[in-house]
A = this chain, B = another copy of it.
Amino acid sequence: MSVQTPNTRTRLVVTAMQLFREKGYGSTSVADLLQAARVNSGSLYHFFPGKQDLLLAVLEAYHAGIQPLLLEPAWRGVADPIERVFALLATYRQALVTTECQYACPIGSLALELHEPDLPVRERLAANFSAWTDAIHQCLQAAGARLPRELDRRELAAFVLTTMEGAVMQARTFRDVGSFDAAVRQLRGYFERLLSEASRAGKSRGRAPAKRKEPR
Expressed in whole angstroms, the minimum distance between the Cβ of A68 and any Cβ of chain B is 23
Per assembly, the copies of the chain total 2
A contacts with B, residue count (CB < 8 A)? 47
Q: Does A158 touch B at the CB level, under 8 Å? A: yes
Contact of A24 among B22, B113, B125, B197 (CB under 8 A): B113
Q: Does A129 touch B at the CB level, under 8 Å? A: yes
Contact of A166 among B115, B165, B185, B186 (CB under 8 A): B165
Residue of B nearest to A113 (CB): B113
Interface residues of A in 80-120 (CB under 8 A from B): 102, 104, 108-109, 111-113, 115
A117–B190 Cα gap in the complex (Å)? Answer: 34
Expressed in whole angstroms, the minimum distance between the Cβ of A133 and any Cβ of chain B is 9
Expressed in whole angstroms, the minimum distance between the Cβ of A106 and any Cβ of chain B is 10
